[in-house]
Each structure stands twice: as structure tokens, then as C-alpha cells.
Chains A and B, each alone.
Chain A
Amino acid sequence: MSKTPLQFRHNGREVAIFVDGGTNLLVALRELIGDMTPKFGCGQGGCGTCSVLVDGELYLSCLTLAETVAGRSVETLDSLKQGPNLHPLQRAFADNFAAQCGYCTPGMLMAAKALLDRNPQPSRAEIVEAISGNICRCTGYEPIINAILAASGGRASA
């Protein structure tokens, strides 16, 4: 089976791997690079648990053919924490108890980061829109919305 070489920037670090034809970015990140922060939730584009940033834009890694990120920059949740310090979004998710089972959390945080990178002070409606591709089965979304509001300096609506 022939493998295709692939180089890209993973959380600021150059990586080079060989992928099988048809390998998606989620599999490449988890199984070939060992970054387990993006999760498999559906493989269909419906849940957002595998969300990552590709050149700063929110992507579903399960629907991204790995070789299409050649030469590009991929950021996962693993990039958020700077040393021992949590990113303000991580801190806000924790403070607002915005995670229960935690499985959607990496994707939610990346969707939230994609929003705040572009729009540092979003409205509640903009936050709702920004996380609309991410399924959470535990929290009822309210604490997640409040966490993102808090991280952006807004006041939680509760």
C-alpha cells in the first residue's frame, strides 16, 4: 500500500508523516501524530467533536482529507494551554462548569476560539451561531454559552 508523505504545522511545530490514501485529518492527528485532543463523534460532519483550526479557520478534521493540509497550519486544543496557564476560554469553561462528560469540550473550545479570534466581544446570538455545529448531549448548552460570554468579558446571562 503506497503512502503519501505529508508535512504541515501542528500547533506551531512542523510535522512530517506518511498517510494512506483517503486518511482523514482526525485519524492523522490521533493515530499518526498522537494528538488525542480532537475526538471522533460521528465521522459525518454532524457533531463538531473533531473540530480543529486550519490556517485559523474552523474545520471538521474528520471530513478533511489529510493531504489537503499540506503546508498549512493545524491547531488543536492541545495548543491552547500555554505552559501551566489555561487559555481564558479554558478557564471560563471550568469556572462555568461548562463540561460534564467532557467529550464535546475540545471541539467546543476550538469553535469558541475560532469565534473570539475574529470577534473578541460577540453577542449571545453570535456565540449561539458559533457553536451551532457542535453537539453537546450533557449540558443543555447554557453553561457553554455563559462560559464563552465570560471569556470575552461579557456577562453571563444566567
Chain B
Amino acid sequence: MLELRKDIFADERDDNLKEIGKGTQRQDMLGHVTGTSTYFGDHKLQGMLHLKVVRSTQAHARLRRIDTTDAERSVGVRRIIRGADVPRNLNTLLSLINFGKDDEPSLAVDKVRYKGEPIVAIVADSEREAFEATAKVRIDYEPLPTLFDVEEALKPGAPVVNETYPKNAFIYHDVYDHQRLRFGDADAALATADHVLEQRYQMSPIEHAPTETNGAIAAPDTNGRYVVYTSTQALFFSVDTCAKILDVPSNTFHFIGGTVGGGFGGKVDTLTEPLAILGAMLTGRPVRYVFGREEEMQYGPPRGAERIYIKDGVMRDGRIVARKIRAYFDSGAYTRLSSYAAVKCAAHLPGPYTIPNVYGDVYCVFTNRTPATAMRGFGVTAMDFAIECQMDKLAHLVGMDPMEFRILNAYRDGDMKAHRREAKNTALIECVQVAAEKAKWPIREEFRRASSRKDGGGSRAVIPPTPADSRARPAAPAQQRTTYDRLPPTITREPPREPPPPASPPSPRPTAPSHGAARFSSVFGTRRR
């Protein structure tokens, strides 16, 4: 079922190693099959309390009043935690690497921006008692108009989801509401292409659905420290996030994890740790906060949806001459990690192919849904779906075998990629050849002979003249603080920017396409010349 093709690229490898390359048993297998691998939830602590959160029933609403009077009197309740109890109740995950602005409270204070947003946390003796108390919290909502579509969100006059980003889009480089990629002159090339195909692709959100839900157990330790058993996928990321939100030095915490029941990207966001620790700080007792399955599925972060428009120009012989892409990441109500994925997505354009003219705009958009996060293939999975469906359509359009079409356009060693770095160590062609062979999918001799190590570079290594866009109007001021933040504003420094490149000499405007050129547009539902 798995075959190692040692014959390919053999000259680049030393296969005479002792441990590397062996199918050694997993270090954790004995623990797994005996049920003795220790996950965060397997820690049993004396006097442990249970934390549950009250979640918003509204997708977008102002919070007129939060009444916890009855909940406080409920049997078994040890502590009610509200936004004001969170030392720094505004954070964005990537502030740890200076990317983006704090935009998300741990507990909502004056407004909720997605259904399921945590408003109040309740720490009680038992889960049942915590549940009973959550049912007694009364919240008075003033519903606000909701936004669920990424393109609607970008229209002028759309309701503002997240006041940190008043245009409902993440701001890149303090200037743009999208990340750009510009390589060559895509419009000019599209105008001279034999065929132009424009299509729309949509990926729905995806839930990570690990069999172990997100959770943490925090307990007071000696010397004023807290020990935290956690399901996090990123231990120090979580430590530092908790230190920031709880406004204490990071060595206040002793995080223990490392054996996690599946993550797939869904255990990076550090959602349970800060509240569990805060609960332990406020009660002096161990506190456990674990997502239920419905919580995990609906209010645990998903991989966000993406909408992608691709417009390609292809010649009759199968060469793609231009690829123009507009992509929208649906980040949900807060940034989390989608902003970063959009940059990764831009870098991924135009897929593993050498195309001389590439144009990309990638947006990270805010809507009133559960904030999205990373997932296996983050920033790339949906784009690969769009690009590879598009490749199949293009091959069909020019009457080529899809395998041969891939090999014809594949990037090779020495080619210039659209993000202006040389392609090295490429192997797409060989993968296509081997997959064709395995599937008994016939491809012609010249394509069987192609190689990633041949015929790249040269004219394919050139950075083409790239016309400069007219510079967009600068967006809203970089720093916006909201009522959540009790600290004086601090300026988040973006990495210094290079000045925009000098405008290339404008390339001559292309003439009308040659006769017989077919142009399709699934986007506008028209077929035009």
C-alpha cells in the first residue's frame, strides 16, 4: 500500500543511515494501546471545581445588561467571572509576533459579535451546578444587524462587526485591506490569451473535530505559581497568551501537555486556559474547563470559509500566461490566525506552476460567525481546491490530458516564483509521473521524460516588468483602543516596510484578442468576446 520510490532522486540522498528511514514503533504506542498515555483530562486533582461559560444567543448584539444575581445565589457556585475580572480583556493571538491589533475579549463586555461568544464564566463545585447557574444568568441583548457574507461585509455602509477593524477587513501594512501579490502584467496577458476562464470557488468552514475536545485544568501551585494541564498544540504560545491576558509574568505558569487527542489546528487558540487559570486564581482551587462536544463543534474555532475567484489566460498549446486571483478568508468575528493565513495564501499563488503573470488580492474579512483559526493545510487547502479544479477545466478547454497539462505548466528548478524567489528542490513533475504510472493513466513519452531538474530557469527565471497599482487610500488610523482595555494604548509596530518599488515602464496595451478566442465567465454568468 505504501511504496518507497528510492530510484527517484537517489543521487541526492545518502540512504545508508542507521535509524532514519526505519519503520520504528512509535514511542507512544504502548501507552496508547494500554490507555495509559496521559492527556490533560486524565489529571485528577483534589477539590477540583468546574467552569462553564454563558454564551451569547445572538450573533450580533449590544449587551444592555448582564444580571448574575440569581446565578450567584445558585447552589454550589464558587465564583462568577465577568469581563471586568479579566486583567487584560482584549487580545489577539498573533500580538505575540507583533501581527495585528488586540481585538478579542476573553469575556464579552458591551457587545457580542458571534453566536456562542462567552459572556460570563461560572465556577462551581460540580458540572451540574455550573450548568444550573449558567441557566440563571439573565442577559438583555439589543440585536444589531448581522453580517454573514464576506463580500457583503466589504461593501460601503455594511454594519461594523469588530470596531478594531471598522471596514470589516484586516489591515495589511497599515495601508491595504488585503495582501497583494503582483508579478508581471496579468491584465495585459489576459488580453492576449487564446482563452480566458473566470470561475468562483467556495470552501465551507471545517471543524477540526478532534476526539478530545479543547480543555485545561489549572491549579494553584507552590510559590504563587499555577500548574496548568492543557490540550494546547502550542505550549509557549499558550503560556505567553495567558501571561498577557492575566497580566502576570510568564513564569507564573507551569504548563504541562504534550500528549493531545488530536488537534489539526483547532487547539492553538488558547480559549480554555486563561479562564481556567483565572478561575483558579479567584477561588484558590483547581479549576477544570473543558468544551462539550456541541461547544467544540459550534463555538470552537473552525477553519474559516474561503471564497476564491480565479481568472486565467491560457494559450491553445496549453501554456498558462496569466492568473488573476481574488480570495476572501472569512475570519468570523475576530482575527485569531486568518490574517496570517491570507499572507501564506498570497505566497502560494499561483500554485506549483510557472506562470509569467500573476496577480493576487487576498482579504481577511470579519463576519458575525465563530472566529476561524488554523487547520491542516491552513491558507492553502481551499486555494489548492480552486486552482486544481481550474487546472482541470483549463486542460479540458484546450483539449489536453490533465496530467500532461500539469507537467507542461509545472514549476521546475531555477524558475522564478511569483513571490520573487527562485524555485529549488522541486518535484511536482515526478509526482505527476509516478501517480500516472500507479493509476495506469497513460501519458505521452515527452511528458514521461520531463524532469523538475531540466529546462527550468533561463527566461523562466526572470522577474517580469510589473506595473504599479495606483496606491490605495490609507485605511483608518493604525491603532484603535476599545473600552475593554484598561491599559494605556501601546503602539504595535509592524515590521518596517520597504518603499514601494519604482513603477515599471508601462507595457504597451495589448491589442484585441485573436479571432476565435473564447471567454467564459462563471462569475458574471456571461459569455463574452
Contact = CB atoms under 8 A, between A and B. Distances in A.
A94 B211 contact: no
Interface stretch (B257-265, B306-314, B479-487): B257-265
Given A20-B126, A41-B293, A97-B29, 7 more contacts: A36-B35, A39-B39, A104-B261, A105-B35, A136-B211, A137-B209, A137-B211
Interface of B: 1, 25-26, 28-39, 41-42, 44, 126, 128, 208-213, 259-264, 290, 292-294
Contact of A101 (B33, B36, B261, B294): B261
Contact of A47 (B37, B208, B211, B260): B211
B44 A99 contact: no
A44 B294 CA distance: 9
Given A40-B290, A94-B30, A135-B211, A102 B128 contact: no
Contact of A39 (B34, B209, B212): B212
A106 B126 CA distance: 26
27 contacts: A22-B128, A30-B42, A36-B44, A41-B211, A43-B292, A43-B293, A44-B293, A44-B294, A47-B211, A47-B293, A77-B34, A77-B35, A78-B35, A81-B34, A93-B33, A94-B29, A94-B30, A99-B32, A101-B211, A101-B260, A101-B261, A102-B31, A102-B259, A103-B39, A103-B210, A103-B262, A137-B264
Nearest to A100: B262
A104 B211 contact: yes
Contacts of A135: 209, 211
A89 B333 CA distance: 46
Smallest CB-CB A-B distances: 10 pairs: A103-B261, A102-B32, A37-B35, A42-B293, A77-B35, A99-B32, A90-B33, A106-B35, A158-B1, A36-B42
Contacts of A129: none
B22 to A, nearest CB: 13
Interface string A73-98: 00011101100001000110110010
A138 B126 CA distance: 32
Contacts, number: 102
A39 to B, nearest CB: 7
Contacts of B44: 30-31, 34, 36
A25 interface: no
B306 to A, nearest CB: 22
A49 to B, nearest CB: 5
Interface string A92-127: 011001011111111001000000000000000000
Interface residues of A, number: 42
Contacts of A153: none
B33 A99 contact: yes
Contacts of A20: 126, 128
A119 B210 CA distance: 31
Given A49-B211, A94-B33, A109-B33, A39 B1 contact: no
Give the interface SS of chain A, mostly helix, strand, loop or mixed.
loop
A46 interface: yes
Nearest to A32: B44
A43 to B, nearest CB: 6
A113 to B, nearest CB: 12
Most buried by A among B25, B211, B294: B211
Interface string A13-43: 0000000101000000011001011111111
B32 A105 contact: yes
Nearest to A137: B262
Nearest to A89: B33
A86 B39 contact: no
B245 to A, nearest CB: 26
Nearest to A36: B42
Instruction: Name which of A77, A99, A103, A136 has the most chain B CB atoms within 10 A of its CB.
Output: A103
B47 to A, nearest CB: 12
Q: Give the one of A40, A99, A135 with max B CB within 10 A.
A: A40
Nearest to B290: A40
Contact of B34 (A90, A100, A158): A90
B132 to A, nearest CB: 12
A82 to B, nearest CB: 11
Contacts of B31: 102
Contacts of B25: 94
A102 B293 contact: no
Contacts of A81: 34
A86 B262 contact: no
A137 B207 CA distance: 11
B200 to A, nearest CB: 30
Contacts of A36: 35, 38, 42, 44
B31 to A, nearest CB: 7
